[in-house]
Structure 1
Amino acid sequence: MESIKSQSYEVHLGELAEAALRQHIAKKNYSKVFLLVDENTKMHCLPVFKKILDHPIDSIFEIQSGEENKHIQTCLEIWEKLSGHDGDRKSLLINLGGGVITDLGGFVASTFKRGIDFINIPTTLLSMVDASIGGKTGVDLGALKNQIGVINQPQMVLVFTEFLKTLDPRQVVSGYAEMLKHGLIKDAPYWDELKTQGNFTDAKSIQRSIALKNDVVLQDPTEQGLRKILNFGHTLGHAIESYCLENPNKKTLLHGEAIAAGMILEGYLSHELKGLSRLSVQEIKETFSQHFEPVELDDDDIKAILKLLKYDKKNSHGDINFVLLQSIGDAVTDVKVPGELFYKAFAYYKE
């Protein structure tokens, strides 16, 4: 399967990924090779990865899985371990895991000794098609998503679809949400294909999603304009995710579960403000409702979620900026939403 070339690195899949990793390690002559895992990837993915790498690993650092561990204290622990194990500027950090591992590991590598090389090996569908691509690294600030971080590119991203067999179905479906988003913002035929497709974990679909995101990132690497379309569903979705993360009475949501809710809500806003057809709004709602349970939200929950919008990274000069759809496959950025429409959107979501 053909590799995908980004700015300064490539995304390799399958056998090409294995060959690329071995060639890179042999060529670069790293002083140390470190590996970052969580308890799940240590158990399910590490044995397979050791055979693929075929090179000694100097130290393996383990963190706890889950968004609640994606914070600066975890970074501090890894920085101290890197230092304690004689890491230097010629060291390599390999991030083997989902979006928390690749986001946090990339940030740790980008800031240790003012930057060491890192390689992302995503093990969840979400991280394969989204989190590990595009150079965004960082951590949360309390429950607020991705407030601290830098854009810095990995040496390469390696995708091995066999790791998907280690996931529970809920994790797989979480990644499906981001794949559907790629169709909604940029590729209507892909949306049509994905929403009716029984198997979305095949290498062809994964490669297509990666290529769609990569094409956007190449045109706007630092998110000055076009790249913002990748945030469709994320303004309200991140607020919902953050709210449920910090509220002990709410079920903690996976990223894709929160973004699915966000896309239904922002689909409704698209109809009200950008002319997205009512038929398309209903199609979006029905598609996500087939795969994701509705998030139970009362009026107090909604008020608290809307207060969190002020922390969204796309905001500028006090304005909350949304990505909305003019039609399926055609997104626009920097749309300001009147406050009363939020409540109408949540009312539609709960219907």
Structure 2
Amino acid sequence: MNVAVLAHERFPDRAKTAVGVLRYADYDVTAVLDRDRPGERVADHRPDVQDAPIVAGIDDVPEPVDAMVIGVAPIGGDFDESWRPDVREAIERGCDVLSGLHYFLAEDDEFAALADDHGVSLRDLRRPPADLSVADGRAREVDADVVLTVGTDCSTGKMTTSAELVAAARERGIDAALIPTGQTGVLIEDWGIVVDRVPSDFVAGAVERLVRERGDDHDLLVVEGQGSITHPAYSAVTCSILHGAMPDALVLCHEAGREAIHGYEEFPIPPVAEVRSLYEDLAAPVADTTVAAGALNTSGLADADANQAVVEYATAIDAPATDPVRFGADELLDAVR
């Protein structure tokens, strides 16, 4: 499928969904929309992902294009009204629209009417299933080993690490599957539940459902983590995923140089050794698990500095560590297996 990815004023650093689609999704990206960078290319900023032109708006996207993907996930998941003309024109061009926002496009009167007129689909990826239930505490019963990525903050590489772990496992002939719990993972895998839209009583149950659905069909499940237990706004979903997945091992994700919670800079990130202990202690009532490895996002560092940062991170968390994008995920896979 040929898609256009909307990432206005946020590409690439604050458009993790767009970057995830470019790196992992089975889509041909025709163009990325960012009105701040028209005339540039994805490769100018992210040479390690699928390349595409960056254009100012949907009118500049060449044919063929089958769908538009909302490639940004702003705090709170709201719809930016400045995107409306591009979404409207995409629908009028016959494009489906895939959105991971909390704002449901299918409940927008204008978009719903246009989609009906033009015979296209509005896919609100955050809309939860109607038949969710509380957890039964049975995720540990699956045959597969279950690994969960956790973080010191949001946007520290949990989805990326999960995808890289699964890819590394498959390269070794291990039957591995990604368990998507966020909008980017659901876009990439075309299944899953975006758990931060699920009522709080049912989040652990939703994760348990995903683990049990795939757990007897694979040897390794890697559950995509969300938020952080130290985050002042998003810790609840993190705890629910941890308890619902009942993981055998954790991978702690961090961004090199980040010292405070993004968007909540008055809240410093605790020392990573303390964060490790917090996760292990929180999991203990339902799962005897440890932080088996660490994933460090070193994208902002030069090669020599990245190597040193990984060594220091591994020492701090007392576990093997690497940057899975820069150096590969084999070391992480060895640790969690």
Q: Give yes or no for TM over 0.5.
A: no
Q: Which has the higher helix share?
A: 1
TM-score normalized with structure 1 length: 0.32
TM-score normalized with structure 2 length: 0.33
